[in-house]
Amino acid sequence: MPWGRVAATAGLAVAILWVSLDAGLGDTEPAPRIASAGLLVLAVLFGAGAGAMQVGGRRERAPLLAGLAIGVGAYALVRLTLPG
């Protein structure tokens, strides 16, 4: 698996989630912390999809889904555990 693509996808996912949920750009307030619980479920689904693509013979799609799983999951965990 090309780990550079996985890392780039994870970093981009974190950046997009931060801008969308926590940056407070414009007139929007940060999203409530409970929204991160749904992100954890989404991360599990992305991880399962990456595993299925790896086993099912569509290995070219696995790095994208693995990167999304890592990025979304890490962002959700950090958002749930860090104060403020």
**What pLDDT, in 10s, does the model give residues 57-75?**
888 999 999 999 999 999 9
Instruction: Name which of 40, 34, 42 is nearest 77 in CA terms.
Output: 40
d(CA 54, CA 57): 6
Instruction: Specify whether the CB–CB gap between 1 and 65 falls below 8 A.
Output: no
Give the residue-averaged pLDDT of 24-49: 89
| pLDDT for position 48 | 97
The answer to whether residue 30 scores a pLDDT higher than 90 is: no
| pLDDT for position 31 | 83
d(CA 21, CA 2): 29
